[in-house]
């Protein structure tokens, strides 16, 4: 490493510096400000910033409000075993396919990303229009073996549907998801029962 040595100024440099500093005039900052903003008026406000909302004090371990969880049908078992998120009478009508279907979306032929975007938009639109029961057709998919938990792999859209419906953008709009009756698509379709619009 090379050490830096302090350079001292020569007599010529000092004389030059003195000549330069003598020629300089000190500016008065107040005059500069007046000249630069003479056309502008500064308004003083008496309004203060809005007060931040107060947080209620809490203790660790105190009861936390629990968000409702959405129950999905077990794709490999019967629907009747899944617990309903809705009243029993309407749930039984839903299982039997006797409720009025107000909308249908067919996701056949779409990639997973395209299907997710289309599904979320459809659910948002249906919820906004006050629809309650829609059918989502995913298709049965082709049997592609088993995953690491020995569950059959049947179609990407069908397997992805629970994740999409439990996502933050639509989970608060969906009340119940149930496999459709054979007349409405069977194992390749699902009834999605939406909450009432608030």
Q: What does the alpha-carbon distance between residue 128 and residue 164 come to, in Å, rounded to a whole number?
A: 18
Residue 46 included in any domain: no
Q: Sign of dihedral through CA atoms 135, 140, 144, 150?
A: positive
Domain total for the chain? 1
Whether residue 122 contacts residue 134, with contact meaning beta carbons closer than 8 Å, is answered with: yes
Determine, yes or no, domain membership for 185. yes
Residue 37's CB is within 10 A of a number of other CB atoms, namely 10
Is 62 among the domain residues? no
The answer to the question of residue 119 being in a domain is yes
Decide: 141 and 157 in contact? Cβ < 8 Å: yes
**pLDDT at residue 139, as a whole number:** 82
pLDDT confidence of residue 176: 85
Decide: pTM greater than 0.85.
Answer: no
Question: Domain span at residue 140?
Answer: 79-194
Up-side HSE of residue 170: CA atoms within 13 Å toward CB? 25
For residue 100, the model assigns a pLDDT of 87
User: Is 99 inside a domain boundary?
Assistant: yes
Q: What pLDDT sits at residue 123?
A: 92
pLDDT for residue 124: 92
User: Any idea which of 63-67, 77-81, 101-105, 172-176 has the lowest mean pLDDT?
Assistant: 77-81
Beta bridge mates, 152: 146
114 to 8, 61, 111, 119, 139: CA distances (angstroms): 72, 42, 5, 9, 15
Asked whether residue 66 is assigned to any structural domain, the reply reads: no
Task: List pLDDT tens digits, range 90-145.
Answer: 888 888 888 888 999 998 888 888 989 999 999 999 999 999 999 998 887 766 66
Question: Is residue 164 pLDDT above 60, yes or no?
Answer: yes
């Amino acid at each position: 490493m090379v050490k830096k040595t302090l350079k001292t100024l020569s007599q010529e440099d000092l004389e030059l510096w003195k000549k330069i500093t003598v020629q300089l005039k000190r500016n008065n900052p107040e005059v500069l400000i007046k000249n630069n903003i003479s056309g502008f008026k500064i308004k003083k406000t008496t309004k203060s910033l809005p007060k931040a909302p107060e947080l209620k004090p809490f203790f660790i371990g105190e009861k936390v409000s629990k968000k409702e969880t959405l129950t999905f049908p077990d794709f490999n078992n019967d629907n009747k075993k899944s617990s309903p998120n809705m009243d029993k009478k309407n749930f039984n009508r839903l299982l039997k396919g006797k409720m009025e279907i107000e909308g249908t979306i067919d996701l056949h032929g779409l990639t997973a990303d395209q299907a997710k975007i289309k599904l979320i938009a459809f659910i948002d639109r249906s919820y906004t229009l006050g629809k309650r029961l829609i059918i989502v057709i995913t298709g049965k998919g082709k049997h592609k073996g088993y995953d690491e938990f020995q569950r059959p792999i049947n179609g990407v859209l069908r397997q992805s549907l629970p994740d999409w419906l439990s996502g933050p953008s639509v989970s608060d709009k969906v009340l119940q998801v149930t496999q459709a009756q054979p007349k409405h698509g069977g194992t390749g379709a699902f009834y999605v029962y939406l909450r009432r619009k608030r």
